[in-house]
Structure 1
Amino acid sequence: MNIRKAVIPVAGKGTRFLPATKQTPKEMLPIINIPMVHYSVMEAVESGIEQLIFVTSSGKGSIENYFDRNLELENFLEQNGKIKELELIQNVSSMIEIITVRQKEQLGLGHAINCASPIIGNETFSVILGDDIVRGERPATKQLIEVSKKNNGKSVIGVMEVPNAETYRYGIVDGEFIDDKRLTLLMKAMIEKPKPSEAPTNLATPGRYILSGNIFECLNEIPRGVGGEYQLTDAINMLASRDEVYAHKFDGDRFDTGNIEGFLNATVEFALRDESTKELMLNIIREKIKTYGIKR
């Protein structure tokens, strides 16, 4: 069983980044010189995904344009001898086959994923949230695909451990471990943002899923939930009541770039991890500490 398709929902308004996102999609905001959505697409490519479905809304055309060819820019770079830059943008445009579908109303993550159902059909597929970046030796999506293959193509929810006091910020998974390393669980339920005193575990869902095509039947049956939206959590719980759904603790560092704090953290961290920018970032930090008298 090969998982060939991935869905990346990018229809949100990005209100936390206004006024920048008045005209620029949040997903196109750069972390140094790479738009955040680029990292999600790279994860899909490195996980063996062949076809990517962006679920978009009005004003998101620049995302599709970014992954398309720009012949005028290519010609300019070639004529001016900027071969390295030329190769960079050509690599972006040739990474993967991309299809876009329009979510005409923002009615929740479940609704966004359901918009891709005509393209997905009955296939098992991946979902990658564009403002959750995971960096590690192996792509998080690839790790989940491997767990799905080991378990007859069943759905797998990516999870990570969070401090017990922060369970109210996430969907939390309840289940029983099925392996000695305590990495994979057979899921009982997912609870949306439980209080720490009510959370069954500290295993949170940061936006990585492998879902069987049966999820669409559930998405079509669930009622609107919180905020009048169709919640993916509700559909996954319905699926878990009918079929085996697993959760897996993936290996990698997660960056929540959907808010200002996480975006800044990712920018600094990525600069420090890259040898070409590490010293520059360290020097900037040292100078700012000196200028503002910040005590360590």
Structure 2
Amino acid sequence: MTDTHQPVRHAVVPSAGRGTRFLPATKAVPKEMLPVVDRPAIEYVVREATDAGIDDMLFVTRTGKEAIEAHFDADPGLEGDLEKAGKDELLSLATEYLGLARTHSVRQGHPLGLGHAVLQAKRHVGDAPFAVMLPDDLMHPDSVLLKQLIAVREAIGGSVVALLRVTPEQATAYASTSVTTIAVPEGVDVPEGNLMRIDKVVEKPPLDEVMSEYAVVGRYVFDPAIFDELEVIEPGAGGEYQLTDAFARLIDRPADQGGGLYGVVVEDRRFDTGDKLGYLEANVALALEHPKLGPALREFLHTELARTETAEA
């Protein structure tokens, strides 16, 4: 029997990719550690989880990703030197990890897909609900999406995923869904019309098999029953185990065994930092909001755009 009211305290962050779309920058630096404004992209994910009440983070990594672990660890030498030098502002920045969820890591071992990566968290998470956060989906710091997913899970059980409105052409690159709008439970802060029961889901369908304008993107809150399904799914193309194949099986699983699949429509700002343009957009958008950098950057962009337009005239 699944405890639907058990709080969500764990988050799993699959981080074992090679980041080849960002070469040569990622030859020696994990893509998750590339900066967005003044901090690595992965830190935004950890801050998002912490703000949502999660206090335990598990990175699923591989060889060469040690910098991720180090970023959220103490550096006694650095901290000691900053303290002795009276550089309190820098010391505060270097010790911000103390206010974030505690982080751990496990190696995926072999690149066998997202489903395989999430399965590596089974021993760590145990029989508890947990979030999965894909680092390429960078949410604006003001986002409440993860809080909404958790609130829905705690209200009605099952598993809950984020749904993005996409064009039919875009849907072919995501998991496409067939959905039914359902009433929002009392006390859950999700706009009416934005909570769905997912009736069917298919990974990267051809254009003529796209089922709706709603596609699954990189925020999930899973019942631990997902681990049972991850252990029995078959590998797909390239020998990879697809996470979509596992959570699709939750749709018909009995509710008292952790079944049921729901979706919350994404209304918050989201950046696709797995794409070079999306990464640049995140840097520009968040830098413009930075209290110290924003005004000067805005002036520079106006000047640079004017110069470019003059050169092209």
- TM-score of the aligned structures, taking structure 1 as reference length: 0.95
Other-structure match for 1:167: 171
Q: Does 1:217 align with 2:228?
A: yes
Other-structure match for 2:9: 4
Other-structure match for 1:21: 26
Q: Does 1:133 align with 2:138?
A: yes
- Structure 1 residues 176 and 207 mapped into 2: Cα distance closer, same or farther (>3 Å)? same
Inter-partner Cα distance in structure 1 for 2:249 and 2:230:
9
Inter-partner Cα distance in structure 2 for 1:136 and 1:204:
22
Task: Give 1:233 deviation, angstroms.
Answer: 0.5
Other-structure match for 1:252: 268
Which 10-residue stretch deviates more, 160-169 or 260-269?
A: 160-169
Q: Does 1:55 align with 2:66?
A: no
Which 10-residue stretch deviates more, 243-252 or 160-169?
A: 160-169
Give 3-state SS (helix, strand or coil) of 2:58's partner: strand
Contact 2:143 2:269 in 1 (8 A): no
Inter-partner Cα distance in structure 2 for 1:102 and 1:248:
31
1:95-174 to 2 correspondences below 5 Å: 95-135=100-140, 137-151=142-156, 153-174=157-178
Contact 2:137 2:218 in 1 (8 A): yes
Of residues 292, 302, 305 in structure 2, which corresponds to 1:276?
A: 292
Inter-partner Cα distance in structure 1 for 2:237 and 2:193:
32
Task: Give 1:93 deviation, angstroms.
Answer: 4.1
Identity of aligned residues (%): 37
1:157-196 to 2 correspondences below 5 Å: 157-179=161-183, 181-196=192-207
Give 3-state SS (helix, strand or coil) of 1:280's partner: helix
Other-structure match for 1:41: 46
Number of equivalenced pairs: 295
Inter-partner Cα distance in structure 2 for 1:173 and 1:136:
27
Other-structure match for 1:87: 92
Give 3-state SS (helix, strand or coil) of 2:231's partner: helix
Give 3-state SS (helix, strand or coil) of 2:292's partner: coil
Give 3-state SS (helix, strand or coil) of 1:42's partner: helix
Of residues 203, 218, 237 in structure 2, which corresponds to 1:207?
A: 218
Inter-partner Cα distance in structure 2 for 1:245 and 1:101:
27
Of residues 48, 62, 69 in structure 2, which corresponds to 1:64?
A: 69
Give 3-state SS (helix, strand or coil) of 1:19's partner: coil
Inter-partner Cα distance in structure 2 for 1:39 and 1:205:
20
Other-structure match for 1:73: 78
1:246-279 residue CA offsets vs partner (Å, 9 max, x unmatched): 1111331110101101100100100112232222
Task: Give 1:167 deviation, angstroms.
Answer: 1.4
Give 3-state SS (helix, strand or coil) of 1:293's partner: helix
Task: Give 1:37 deviation, angstroms.
Answer: 0.3
Contact 2:48 2:141 in 1 (8 A): no
- TM-score of the aligned structures, taking structure 2 as reference length: 0.90
- Structure 1 residues 163 and 272 mapped into 2: Cα distance closer, same or farther (>3 Å)? farther
Task: Give 1:211 deviation, angstroms.
Answer: 0.5
Task: Give 1:94 deviation, angstroms.
Answer: 4.2
Inter-partner Cα distance in structure 1 for 2:143 and 2:279:
22
Other-structure match for 2:188: none
Task: Give 1:166 deviation, angstroms.
Answer: 1.7
Structure 2 gaps of 5+ residues are: 1-5, 185-191, 254-258
Which 10-residue stretch deviates more, 177-186 or 98-107?
A: 177-186
Which 10-residue stretch deviates more, 239-248 or 206-215?
A: 239-248
Other-structure match for 1:238: 249
Contact 1:143 1:250 in 2 (8 A): no
For residue 202 of structure 1, what is the amino acid of its counterpart?
E
Give 3-state SS (helix, strand or coil) of 1:81's partner: coil
Inter-partner Cα distance in structure 1 for 2:141 and 2:44:
12
Task: Give 1:160 deviation, angstroms.
Answer: 1.7
Contact 2:9 2:55 in 1 (8 A): yes
CA RMSD of aligned residues (A): 1.7
Give 3-state SS (helix, strand or coil) of 2:127's partner: coil
Q: Does 1:261 align with 2:277?
A: yes
